[in-house]
Amino acid sequence: MSSGKNVHVVRHSGGWAPRREGADRVSAVYPTQGEAIKRGEGLARASKGELVIHGRDGRIRDSDSYGNDPNPPRDRKH
């Protein structure tokens, strides 16, 4: 995956925000992580990238790929 296509959901200014990898700013801040994830999914789908969800501690807790992976793993979450 190209690094510019990935979207990270991170804590930001008392809320949560989807941020494109390499971007200096976020486009919007949401009160809940769930709302930020929904927006991030749309951004990741549009760019055929990966959605990376960070927990409160900043560590990656989950990810989903929306691109063309030649060897996709079996999705055990859905």
Its domain, for residue 47, covers 3-65
Number of domains present in the structure of the chain: 1
Tokens 């990238």 map to which residue?
49
Q: Does residue 47 form part of some domain?
A: yes
pLDDT on residue 67: 80
pLDDT on residue 72: 65
Q: Is the pTM of this model over 0.85?
A: no
Q: Does residue 74 form part of some domain?
A: no
Per-residue pLDDT of the chain in tens (78 residues, 90 and over written 9): 445 689 999 999 999 999 999 999 998 999 999 999 999 999 999 999 999 999 999 999 999 988 876 666 676 766
Strands 7-12 and 50-54: parallel
**Which own/partner contact pairs does 27-32 have at CB distance under 8 Å and 24+ positions apart?**
none
* H/E stretch holding 41: helix 33-47
